[in-house]
Amino acid sequence: MVEASVSGDVHHRACGVCPSRRLPVGEFDVYERPSKEAPFNPADGYRYSPEGVPVCVHPEKVGLPAARYKSEGAPLTMKVELPAAEADLVPYLHDLLYGAAPVLLDDLIGQAYAEIPRAFPEVDVLETLRRALS
């Protein structure tokens, strides 16, 4: 059985009726916000697209960018965009990594590991990532 994106974590920020609590990433769409395009269905408490695809309407809560993952097969990606100032690096990485869906973490850490030396050659990449994750 494929595990849901949010698996049993009662403290996760996802809403109690979010499709991320019952479906794996890629099996539901994520919209920017609630809209008439994905109305609430009072029969089961979920939102659905006009095509019947389950929809999450809080990308910041599930750690996924808004995209049509199920309905259009959108790729599951996020891009690391480092801040301009070195002083902002650890807080940015902390927020990015702790806010991302678990399925994206390996890729985000890999991107950060490659991009940090390009933007900040004097920074110890491993130590910076450790600080961001602590």
pLDDT, averaged per 10 consecutive residues of the chain (134 residues), comes to 54 76 90 93 91 94 93 93 97 92 92 97 97 94
Single out the residue of 117, 80, 113, 119 nearest to residue 96, CA to CA: 80
Q: What is the pLDDT of residue 27?
A: 93
Q: What is the pLDDT of residue 116?
A: 98
CB atoms within 10 A of CB 81: 9
Single out the residue of 61, 76, 72, 60 nearest to residue 24, CA to CA: 76
Separation CA 83–CA 89 (nearest Å): 6
3 state DSSP class of 77: coil
Q: What is the pLDDT of residue 7?
A: 55
Residues 6+ apart with CB under 8 A from 80: 96, 108, 111, 112, 115
For residues 59 and 30, the answer to whether their CB atoms sit within 8 Å is yes
Q: What is the pLDDT of residue 1?
A: 43
Separation CA 121–CA 125 (nearest Å): 9
Single out the residue of 69, 78, 59, 54 nearest to residue 13, CA to CA: 59
Separation CA 18–CA 10 (nearest Å): 12
